[in-house]
Amino acid sequence: MDQEIKCAVIGTGYVGLVTGACLADLGYHVICLDRDEGKLESLRNGKVEIFEAELEPMIVRNMKNGSLSFSADIKSAVSDSFYIFITVDTPSDETGRADITNVEEAARRIAPGVNSYKIIVNKSTVPVGSTNRVMRIIEESEPEYPEFDVVSNPEFLREGTAVFDFMNPTRIVIGSDSEKAIMHMTELYRPINAPLLITDPISAEMIKYASNAFLATKISYINAIANLCEYIGADVREVSLGMGYDGRIGFEFLKPGPGFGGSCFPKDTRALLAIATDYGYNFDLLKGTLEVNRRQRERMVEKLERMLGKLEEVKIAALGLSFKANTSDVRESPAIEIVRMLRDRKANVSAYDPKAMDNARKQLEGIEFADNPYLAARDADALVILTEWDEFKWLDYPRIAELMKRPIILDTRNLLDPQVLRKEGFTYEGVGR
């Protein structure tokens, strides 16, 4: 591939690092930028703070062969590059709106480096109209070279499989009104085999929100069905299987649990609701999606209380703290929120997670962290599975039954086999079964 094609990637969070590493792996010359010098230094030493399959070796490999480097100097990286990616985070503000301060700041810092025609590619999830906002900020800074394009190119990476998702996307969305930019973006992604959707920037921005909020709604829907199954005595796993055979519904994203979490679904659903409100559209469906999700966490706590009789002064072993399996990310994790609620109800929680303990420690006070699941389970009145880590499937449950004060399991992820556990003497409850 053409080593002469240079890319600058601004922001070394999840999306930035995956984008930078994968572009380098495709053969482009990539500079990843961040203002945090400490972070840059540890990246240069091959240390990636986030746990993401394949990412660290890919970064190390591409640094070694000279395709990937890290810097804090945005101006010269932009001057040297043709494609400039904005991959900074857009956190929720108090009203649920996506805060685009970081994107605006990136645009201001890009402007002085625009010394020839460049394509600025926005990958951050931003409210509709932000592509134009970035364009205006750069224009108003009167860059050295007047011609540049800003393109919306949303990412659909899932944590845990982000590298795979970058290389094998379900689709590539390019939002731009400039034929020249579209041609260059098509060229950039030529090595990747995926349907290419070329559209206007506002529609591209909307595709991202509409997709995430739809998937979030699908999860809230199956959670509501699961709750109803509990009342009527149906098994939600059979129900979702029966639904999934209908190609219009599909099997994916029909797993009930403690509600969706993570860095995207809660934030993007709130943001889309806020966008609708701002334009005077009452998007009740999304209010329902968020309300079911909020209540779902509470339901898990109420279930546990019913199983135990009370929560005060009981010991609860909490297995799993990340928002889903195969990630160390605890952002908006239902597990963390449930543990907090248990703690506030005066339960003594002993928690374990294979990868998220360090991140969880920063967010959770007043609970105990156990070095392994068996230590967490010792003398516990109940064990609650909060994240669907594979290793929790293969624990020595007879041993756990012996260690616990009372053999009670609440499996909020329907990870375990109820029949086997009941045979081993546990009182078992899942979700919707």
Q: Which residues are known catalytic residues?
A: 264
User: Residue 158 gets which letter from DSSP?
Assistant: P
Say if CB 210 and CB 280 are below 8 A apart. Answer: no
Residues 159-178 that bind ligand UDX (CB under 6 A): 159
- Residue 31 or 254: the one with the smaller Cβ distance to ligand UDX is 254
Site size toward ligand UDX (CB under 6 A) is 18
Residue with tokens 């699961």: 226
Cα–Cα distance, 278 to 362 (Å, whole number):
35
Of 201 and 262, nearer to ligand UDX (C-beta) is 262
Among residues 29, 118, 123, 255, the one that binds ligand UDX under rule CB under 6 A: 255
Task: Please state whether 188 falls in left (phi above 0), alpha (psi between -120 and 50) or beta.
Answer: alpha
Answer for which of 70, 260, 352, 389 binds ligand UDX (CB under 6 A) is: 260
Question: Which one, 5 or 128, has the nearer CB to ligand UDX?
Answer: 128
Instruction: Give the bridge partners for 369, in sequence order.
Output: 351
| Cα gap 189→186, rounded to integer Å | 5
344-361 burial: b if 16+ Cβ within 10 Å, else e: eeebbbbbbbbbbbebbe
Q: Please identify, using beta-carbon distances, which residue of 255 and 340 lies nearer to ligand UDX.
A: 255
Tokens 């069905």 -> residue: 225
Q: What is the DSSP letter of 363?
A: T
Q: Which is nearer to ligand UDX, 16 or 407 (CB)?
A: 16
Whole-number Å distance between alpha carbons of 125 and 103: 10
- Give the Å distances, CA to CA, from 135 to 40, 120, 139, 152, 180: 28, 9, 6, 11, 16
Which residues, numbered 296-335, are part of the site for ligand UDX (CB under 6 A)? 323-324
Ranges assigned E (strand) in 201-308: none
- The mark string for 351-390 relative to ligand UDX (x by CB under 6 A, - otherwise) is ----------------------------------------
In the complex with ligand UDX, the residue whose CB is nearer, 382 or 415, is 415
Strands in 315-319's sheet, in edge-to-edge order, are 368-369, 348-352, 315-319, 382-385, 408-411, 427-429
Query: DSSP letter string over 376-414?
Result: HHTT-SEEEE-S--GGGTTS-HHHHHHHSSS-EEEETT-
With CB under 6 A as the contact rule, which of the stretches 94-102, 155-163, 306-314, 366-374 interacts with ligand UDX? 155-163
How are strands ordered across the β-sheet holding 118-122? 68-71, 29-33, 6-10, 83-86, 118-122, 148-152, 172-175, 196-199
- The span of 115-123, 152-160, 228-236, 395-403 binding ligand UDX (CB under 6 A) equals 152-160
**Residue 173 contacts by C-beta under 8 Å, 6 or more apart in sequence?**
152, 153, 154, 197, 199, 204, 207, 208
Interface with ligand UDX (CB under 6 A), residue from 9, 32, 111, 219: 219
| DSSP per-residue string spanning 160-185 | TSHHHHHHS-S-EEEE-S-HHHHHHH
Contact 152, 131 (CB under 8 A): yes
Question: Closest approach of Cβ 391 to ligand UDX, in Å?
Answer: 16
Give the range of 61-69, 75-83, 252-260, 418-426 binding ligand UDX by CB under 6 A.
Answer: 252-260
Regarding 253 and contact with ligand UDX (CB under 6 A), the answer is: yes
Q: How far is the CB of 294 from ligand UDX (least distance, A)?
A: 14
Closest CB 108 distance from ligand UDX, rounded Å: 26
**Shortest distance in whole angstroms from residue 367 CB to ligand UDX:** 20
Q: How far is the CB of 76 from ligand UDX (least distance, A)?
A: 31
Of the candidate residues 64, 158, 171, 306, the single one contacting ligand UDX (CB under 6 A): 158
Cα angle value 229/235/236 (rounded, 5°): 70
Using CB under 6 A, pick the residue from 11, 113, 175, 262 that binds ligand UDX.
262
Give whichever of 143 and 160 is closer to ligand UDX, judged by the CB atom: 160
Q: Which residue has its beta carbon closest to ligand UDX?
A: 264
Binding window for ligand UDX (CB under 6 A); candidates: 247-255, 279-287, 345-353, 398-406: 247-255
**Taking the CB of residue 228, how many other CB atoms lie within 10 A of it?**
13
Least Cβ distance, residue 208 to ligand UDX (angstroms):
8
264 binding ligand UDX? (CB under 6 A): yes
Which of 92, 109, 156, 361 contacts ligand UDX by CB under 6 A?
Answer: 156
Query: Rule CB under 6 A: which residues touch ligand UDX?
Result: 155-159, 212, 219, 253-255, 257, 260-262, 264-265, 323-324
